[in-house]
Structure formats: C-alpha cells, structure tokens
Amino acid sequence: MKFKIVKYSISWLALSLLIVGATIGLIVSFQQLKPGEFDIVFLSLAWIIVVASGIYLFVFASKEILRREFIKKEAELSDKQPVTKKESPAKSKTTGLNIDTVARKIVRRTSSDKEPSEWGNELLKMLSTELEIMSGVFYFRNKKNKFEPVATYALSHAQQAYTFEEGEGLNGQVALIKLNSVYTTIPDEYTEVCSGLGKVKPIYLAIIPIVVKEKCIALIECTGFKFTSAEIEQLFQIIARELSAKIELGKE
C-alpha cells in the first residue's frame, strides 16, 4: 500500500514538473518574439491545450485507479464479514409460521370452481391441517341473499351453525362491513370446544368474509388455540385477498 502511495505522489510531481517546464518554455518563447506577433497567440493556445489535456487525462486516470482500489478493498472487507441468513419478513419470529407460504398453499389447494359445499370442506380441511383449528364453519350466500352453512368442521352439539342475513348477529356484521375480524375476547357460545381430550378453550375466533366485486359471497368462521391472533389475522388477510381474486378470475 505504501508503494502505491509513493507511486501516486511521484506521478503528481511529474505532472507538476511538466506544467512548470511548459510554462518556462512559454515565457522564454515570449521573450524571443516581438509583441503582437501571431506566434505568441499560437504558443499560448498550444500551451493551454497541452496542459489542459494532460491534467484531464491524469485526473481521469487517477480517479479510475482510486475507484478500482476502492472496489477491491470493499470486496476484501465483504469477504471477511460473516454471512448472516436473512429471515423472511412473512415468517413469524415467535412460532416459525411462514404466514405467506401457508396462506398461498391453502388458496392454491382450494378449488373454488366446485360446488360451495365441496370447496368449503376442502378449505376447512386445509385450515385444520395447516393451522390446527378447533372448529370451523363455511357459509355461502344463497339465491335469497342469506348465508347458510354448507360445510362444517369439528362442531360440538352445543355449537349449531345457523343461517343469517347480512347485518344480522356477529357474522352478519362482518359480512356487512366486509372486513376480517379476529377476536380474542370470545363470546360465551365459543368459550369451550369439545374434543376427544375433553373441553378446550380457544384463544381466538376468526370471521373472514370472501368478497368478490364488493359483495360478500361467503364467510369463514373458525376458532383455534395455536398461533397468536396477530399471526392469524395476517394469514387470513392473505387468504381472503388471494381467494377473492381467484374466484373473481374464474368467473370472467
């Protein structure tokens, strides 16, 4: 490195001597010529061109050398730094749930071109596999504009899926405002879910509208105890958006 600095300094010294020598030569030429002669103007222009060209080429070459040295040093430093694995922003830091991947997998494996009861069952099965939901209901809007349960998963005798209209009850309000709703304060009818292991309390209740062309055509209702409400809300946002787009594209 020291050798390169010395070499760089000598180059600048050489350029300085060249300019000084050219200046002295020009002064001597001026003294030998009579004032007003054309040769004085010619020599002045020639000196300016030579010196300016020399300075430009030297500075350009110096910048290029410095740029290459900088790139080389930067590469050496990057090679010495330890490689750290970047975590996907869609992956939860608390449970390791890859929200984006799981959501798109559920949508991809749901065939919305089938009968509502069939793809509703497919959707609930995927939710039970990927999210381990405790119970679930899939509602579909019928020709009378009422939402009726066409598919269910692990409902106890105490839980009865019912038909409702837009704006009626908790589910009807979600269908009306068309916004995902994840509750951590569970209504009394959802406080316990019966299973083979006894009664388990869910930690969230998710009610997700499927909206196509600004109209809620279906509703997903499910409860679970795994993953946080924030994770579930983020996952269902992707599911609702992607599934709505898939259905709308299939109808065109």
62 and 176 fall within a common domain? no
The answer as to whether 61 is a domain residue is yes
Identify the pLDDT of residue 35: 52
Do 50 and 20 share a structural domain? yes
Distance, in Å, from the CA atom of 112 to the CA atom of 244, rounded to the nearest integer, reads 10
Beta-carbon contacts of residue 111 (< 8 Å; ≥ 6 apart): 118, 119, 122
Q: Does residue 246 lie in a domain region?
A: yes
**Is 106 within a domain?**
yes
Residues 172 and 247 in one domain: yes
Does residue 235 fall inside a structural domain? yes
Q: Are residues 142 and 238 in the same domain?
A: yes
Domain co-membership, 16 together with 120: no
Q: In which residue are the tokens 């030569």 written?
A: 25
Q: Does residue 93 fall inside a structural domain?
A: no
The model carries a pTM of 0.60
| Long-range CB contact pairs, 20-23, < 8 A, 24+ | 22/47, 22/50, 22/51, 23/47
Provide the domain count of the chain.
2
Query: How far apart are alpha carbons 124 and 72 in whole angstroms?
Result: 56
Residues 134 and 221 in one domain: yes
Give domain status of residue 153, yes or no. yes
**Where does a domain end: 48, 80, 112?**
80
- pLDDT tens-place values along the chain, 252 residues long: 444 455 556 666 666 666 666 666 666 665 565 555 555 555 566 667 666 666 655 665 565 555 555 555 544 544 444 444 444 445 555 566 789 999 999 999 988 889 999 999 999 999 999 999 988 999 999 999 999 999 999 876 556 788 999 999 999 999 999 999 999 887 666 655 555 545 667 889 999 999 999 999 999 999 998 888 889 999 999 999 999 999 988 755
Examine residue 138 and state whether it is found in any structural domain, yes or no. Answer: yes
Rounded CA separation 121/152 (Å): 7
Collect all residues with Cβ–Cβ distance below 8 Å to 138 and sequence separation of at least 6: 116, 120, 121, 123, 124, 149, 150, 151, 152, 218, 219, 220, 221
What pLDDT does residue 129 have?
A: 92
* Domain-embedded: residue 201: yes
Q: Write down which residue in 80, 114, 139 finishes a domain.
A: 80
- Do 105 and 76 lie in one domain? The reply is no
| Structural domain for 66, as ranges | 2-80
- Statement to judge: residues 157 and 228 lie in one domain: yes
